[in-house]
Structure 1
Amino acid sequence: MSTQTLPIDRVSLVEQSKARKEPEWITSLREQALELATTLDWPVLEKTRIDRWNLSSFGTYKQAETLSSLEALPEAARTLVTGGGEGSPDNLLVQRNSGVVYSSLSETLAKQGVIFCSLEEALIQHEELVRKHFQSVIKHDEHRLTALHAALWSGGAFLYVPKNVQVDVPVQALFLTDDAEASFSPHVLIVAEQHSSVTYVDSFISEGSLNGLVQNGAVEIVVKPGAKVTFASVHNLNESVTDLTYRRAAVENDGAIEWIVGEMHYGNAVSDTTSILHGNGSTSDAKVICVGTGDQKLNISTRAVHFGKSSDSQMITRAVMRDSSTAIINGITKIEHGATKANGEQTEKVLMLSPKSRGDANPILLIDEDDVTAGHAASVGQVNPEQVYYLMSRGITKAEAERLIIYGFLDPVVAEIPLELVRSQLQLLVERKLGQ
């Protein structure tokens, strides 16, 4: 194993943890993770040498200043959460750089027992609840990135939905980085108790030049029996940020997880979205899109691991690549021995708009049980000239015809965003990236 120069020493890490009044077990876990980061290897990614990327700038923890009003946010961030209107919406959390600066929860949800606050606050106010689930889905000793995240995370979000509570309105989080020296590694923990349901939406954005800053984030979702979680996320970080995100859900009997992910970065990125279907009758539905420009390198993985009987997973990944960008698109369905009657279906499609762009679609089926169904489809190609010709024959210009085809290609994911404000934002981001 190789050794790693750490972004912080052990003494400073412990001092920071104590200054934030974190529980002793969190401080100890951070110490252990930091030590592991010196020996663990980088994750092994399909056709991507992440060890050759510049992953040295994780920033330094800086105490965040609480916002008295959302008006203090940069215009792009403010518009994203308010839609350009005035006032402060309910059920909103905002993290700026190292810490959460704004948090609100409606009185209605609070009375139902819903908790939505920064993970740092939850460690103090709801310690036993967090301790029960924190790093139960993503372990700190899996590889170097998970170890570094466990040592360095700050801010983050904690969403808890009690048994039988149906949250009818989406809760929203905004993660903003605009300080090149400040760490930016949020941890999102969502727990949906038995027969509850909730929709969570977040956006990642950046402002200014951030000198190669690494965003090393993690999402853990615990879906109890009969519960459903819809998780939507749009990442729009600029070319000066490397975006590394691991998302994972553990789903129990008859539980459901729905993923809707828009990877709209401008810098290099690794995105891993995984459903662990532990329970019988558990389901996962994942829809992911990405648009690559410039000389971006993207590694996008979506996976489902079936343990439960009659579990079902569906995956759709769409990528559009232009300029000299490259994307490795992985779909992995793993059906373990004993997961009888399981079904796993996946589709990966890559549309290349430039002869210098590259996209690899890798459908992978790993089946250890006989009595199952599984299938995959994958394609890599350019805009179909026959489709362009057909649209042009109806009086549409070639440029507009190509644009319509591309938007139609991405629409199966874009149309599923559960919050109109975020859906509109994603459509705008697609237009910007494809219109360069």
Structure 2
Amino acid sequence: MSTQTILPIDRQAIVELSKSRQEPEWMTNLRAEALELAGSLELPKLEKTRIDRWNLSSYGSYKSEGKIASLDALPESAKALLQTEEGQPVNVLVQKNSGIVYHSISEELAKQGVIFTSLEEALSSHSELVQTYFTSVVGKDENQLTALHTALWSGGVFVYVPKNVRVELPIQALFLTDDAEATFSPHVLIVAEQHSSVTYVDNFVSEGDLNQLIQNGVVEVVVKAGATVNFASVHNLNESVTDLSYRRAVVDNDATINWVIGEMNYGNVMSDTTSLLKGNGSNSDAKIICVGTGEQKLNVTTRAVHFGKSSSSDMITRAVMRDAATAIINGVTKIEKGATGTNGQQTEKVLMLSPKARGDANPILLIDEDDVKAGHAASVGQVNPEQIHYLMSRGITREEAQRLVIYGFLAPVVSEIPMEKVQKQLQGFVERKLGQ
């Protein structure tokens, strides 16, 4: 397979674009190498999902975007997603299509040595730091999608938190696409040094008919010893966007990664959220919600790989399927040899609201060590008619009864999300998707 058959762009075009953006030589070379790799690598093999049948060719091309003076220039629906402090959004970065259009960081964070900027800007001002970590967690050579992302990424976010610094307010990013001809593949890179902490929240939204655009995004999180990273992401892209997302964290000794993921898209979704628990006493907690409607196909994987002793992981996934939507929900707990004293737990549940909806929950335990704890629970089913009847017998309408059952099903995830704004966002998106 040649590179030209994958994308309407060749190696020379990638090189020239990188140079025109004044990227360092190492990034220019990396992009070119990745594009060549994409021609020989295969697509990822997903559980019970033929991703090769999806439209995976509409990446668009890089288009520069003009800056906006204030967030008031954003659509109201997008602006409403940003958290505010005393009525004003702080520590915010906005990407529109291929480029960054708005960025603000508080003086307090800057004085503490926190770096919060676009990845494009970080290539210029912190090149060596970015080079150390870029593709260190998600490699360019893993499959065709990661190779294409490395070659074509644009915009993106770079967060660096120095040792012992605790960021109290959330750092926020908004990724907005409204141009089907513009590349939309952000790269998020977060590095938390020893005993630091940070909360990062982002939203992916779309406007208008995008004619089968591909969002091929990657998140890399490096959590050093004793640090904590809270990562929340809600994707609400329309039916013309195919959303492909790899999120992965490397977690050191006594460090913690907390994931909150809301897959509220209307198009096909491949979502892979993984914690690599390299350190002793490392921790991972993942809470995933997804809602499928129409003829959506969703393949959602949550994974924890235990290397360190006494490491722990907990994964909870709830999926609600309506119409003719299909969901493959995978939970993978892998405990490597030598990871004694570890504890890995997972739960996957799928609720189907239509006879045509399909759901498949696949709990997987791969254990190469004896001195461990591991468990899983999984269920797939439709709304219990007895619950609906019971609620209706108390004077509640059928529609309201079904709504209560759905929210009761999602409550174990939503109620434990530590960020109230994210809770409300998820609830609003669920109501919108289910027409309630």
Q: Is this a same-fold pair by TM over 0.5? A: yes
1:10 aligns with 2:11: yes
Residue 388 of structure 1: how far off its partner (Å): 1.8
Distance 1:414 1:95 in 2: 27
Q: Residue 216 of structure 2 aligns with which residue?
A: 216
Moved more, 38-47 or 385-394: 385-394
Distance of 1:2 and 1:106 partners within structure 2 = 47
C-alpha distance in structure 1 between counterparts of 2:88 and 2:178, whole Å = 21
Secondary structure in 2 matching 1:121: helix
Partners of 1:242 and 1:290 lie apart in 2 by: 15
Aligned pair count reads: 435
Q: Which amino acid aligns with 1:126?
A: H
1:100 offset after TM fit, Å? 0.9
2:320 aligned partner: 320
Question: Distance between the aligned counterparts of 2:435 and 2:407, measured in 1?
Answer: 12
Q: Give the aligned residue type for 1:9.
A: D
- Aligned match of 2:261: 261
Residue in structure 1 matched with residue 110 of structure 2 by the alignment: 110
Over residues 271-309 of structure 1, what are the superposed CA-to-partner deviations in whole Å (9 max), with x where a residue is unaligned?
000000000000000000100000000000000000000
Match of 1:49 in 2: 50
> Secondary structure of the residue that 1:266 maps to in structure 2?
coil
Name the amino acid aligned to 1:388: I
DSSP 3-state at the match of 2:36: helix
Contact 1:260 1:416 in 2 (8 A): no
In 2: Cα distance, 1:34 partner to 1:430 partner: 38
| Residue 144 (structure 2) aligns with | 144
* Cα distance in structure 2, aligned partners of 1:186 and 1:418: 25
- CA apart distance, 1:246: 0.2
Where does 1:266-345 land on structure 2 (aligned, <5 Å)? 266-345=266-345
- The residue identity in structure 1 corresponding to 2:186 is P
Number of the residue aligned with 1:404: 404
Aligned amino acid, residue 148 of structure 2: L
Tell me, what secondary structure is at the counterpart of 2:399? helix
The residue that corresponds to 2:423 in the other structure is 423
Q: Give 3-state SS (helix, strand or coil) of 1:139's partner.
A: coil
Q: Output the amino acid matched with 1:140.
A: K
SS state at 2:80 partner: helix
2-structure distance, mates of 1:425, 1:398: 25
User: What residue number does 1:434 align with?
Assistant: 434
> Which is further off, 322-331 or 393-402?
393-402
State how far apart, in whole Å, the 2-side matches of 1:320 and 1:161 are.
36
Residue 82 of structure 1 and its aligned partner are, at CA, apart by 5.9
Matched letter for residue 32 of structure 2: E
Of 406-415 and 20-29, the range deviating more from structure 2 = 406-415
Alignment of 1:364 onto 2:364:
yes
Q: Distance in 2 between matches of 1:48 and 1:63?
A: 35
User: Could you tell me how far 1:391 is from its partner in structure 2?
Assistant: 1.9
1:350 aligned onto 2:330 = no
Tell me what 1:173 maps to.
173
1:75 aligned to 2:72? no
Aligned identity (percent) is 74
- The question of 1:134 aligning with 2:131 is answered no
Mapped partners of 2:159, 2:40: distance in 1: 33
Note if contact 1:98-1:155 (Cα within 8 Å) is conserved in structure 2: yes
Give 1:23's aligned residue: 24
Aligned equivalents of 2:113, 2:17: Cα separation in 1: 31
Contact persistence 1:7–1:57 (CA under 8 A): no
Is the 8 Å Cα contact of residues 42 and 143 (structure 1) preserved in structure 2?
A: yes
Shift of 1:2: 8.6
CA displacement at 1:79 relative to structure 2: 2.0
Give the Cα separation in 2 of the matches to 1:281 and 1:7: 47
Instruction: Report the CA distance between 1:131 and its aligned residue.
Output: 1.0
> Could you give the per-residue CA deviations for residues 3-52 of structure 1, whole angstroms, max 9, x where no partner exists?
74223111111111011110100000000000000110000100001011
| Per-residue deviation, residues 70-125 of structure 1 (Å, max 9, x unmatched) | 11112211222267x99751100000000111111111111111111100101111
CA distance in 2, matches of 1:361, 1:7: 37
Give the AA of the match of 2:303: R
Quote the offset at 1:412 in angstroms. Answer: 2.3
Q: Does 1:387 align with 2:390?
A: no
In structure 2, the partner of 1:162 is: 162
Report the residue type matching 2:116 in the other structure: F
SS in 2 for 1:229: strand
Show the counterpart of 1:190.
190
Distance 1:120 1:416, change over 3 A: farther
SS across alignment from 2:148? helix
Deviation at 1:394, TM superposition (A): 2.3
Secondary structure of 1:81's counterpart equals coil
Q: What TM-score do the two structures reach when normalised by structure 1?
A: 0.97
Confirm or deny: 8 A CA contact 1:6 1:38 kept in the other structure.
no
- How far, CA to CA, are the matches of 2:88 and 2:61 in structure 1? 30
Q: Aligned partners of 2:204 and 2:370: how far apart in 1?
A: 42
Could you tell me how far 1:419 is from its partner in structure 2?
3.7
The aligned residue for residue 40 of structure 2 is: 39
Q: CA deviation at 1:418?
A: 4.0
Q: Secondary structure at the match of 1:305?
A: strand
| CA distance, structure 2, for counterparts of residue 100 and residue 87 of structure 1 | 23
Residue pair 1:70, 1:88 contacting (<8 A) in 2 also: no
* Offset at residue 127 of structure 1 (A): 1.1
Partners in 2 of 1:221 and 1:120 — Cα distance?
A: 17
Q: Which moved more, 1:319-328 or 1:393-402?
A: 393-402
- Judged with a 3 Å threshold, the aligned counterparts in structure 2 of structure 1 residues 325 and 111 are, in CA distance, closer, same or farther, namely same
Give the partner amino acid of 1:394.
R
Over 6 Å off, 4+ runs: none
What SS is found at the alignment partner of 2:238?
coil
Deviation at 1:64, TM superposition (A): 1.6
Letter in 2 for 1:205: V
Counterpart code for 2:68: L
